[in-house]
Every structure is written in structure tokens, then in C-alpha cells.
Amino acid sequence: MGGPKRDGWESLALIVALVLVGLGALGFLVRAVRGPSLADRVVAIDGMVVAMVAAVILESIRSDHAWFLEVALVVAFVGFVGTAASARFIEGRGA
């Protein structure tokens, strides 16, 4: 909140990074919808979680609010648990 002011280049870099992370998330969404296998969909959803965490961290930097980092930590943890559970399900299924 009381941090240093950012110049135009830093603000532009943060916005460009947010746009690129959003495009990456869109690519993962396409892969999650198209498949073709369950494993591809699980990896794509995990990639979307990573992109979401990156976006939250970038927003934390942009807005200068540290509590966003706690949100990113929770999202990353939930994503990890979900991916681990999905991998165990796929392994037990014999796909």
C-alpha cells in the first residue's frame, strides 16, 4: 500500500504479463475441453490452476496488496491436492 510508485514501463510490463498469462489459461482451457484423454484434461486443468496462481500474484504486485499472496497459496494447495487425487484415480483406473 505504501510501497514505491511504479513508472509507466513497470505498469505496462505487469499488464502485458497478465494478458499473456490469460492467453496461456485460454490455451489450457481449449486443451481441457478438447481432450482427447482424461490425462490430457487433468494436465490442462493443472495448467489453468498454475496460470490462475500466476495471475493472482501479478495482481498482488500490481495493486500492492499482500493478502493476495495468501489467496494464491490456497489456490495452489487446492490445485495440487486436486491433481494428486486425479492422478491417483487415473492410475487406479488403468488408463
- The domain locations on the chain are 8-93
Amino acid at 18: L
H-type alpha helices, the chain: 8-34, 38-63, 67-93
Tell me the pTM.
0.83
75, 53 Cβ separation under 8 angstroms? yes
**All 3 cell numbers of residue 51?**
496460470
The per-residue pLDDT for range 64-78, each reduced to its tens digit, is 888 889 999 999 999
Give residue 2's pLDDT: 52
The per-residue pLDDT for range 23-35, each reduced to its tens digit, is 999 999 999 999 8
Amino acid at 79: G
**All 3 cell numbers of residue 2?**
505504501
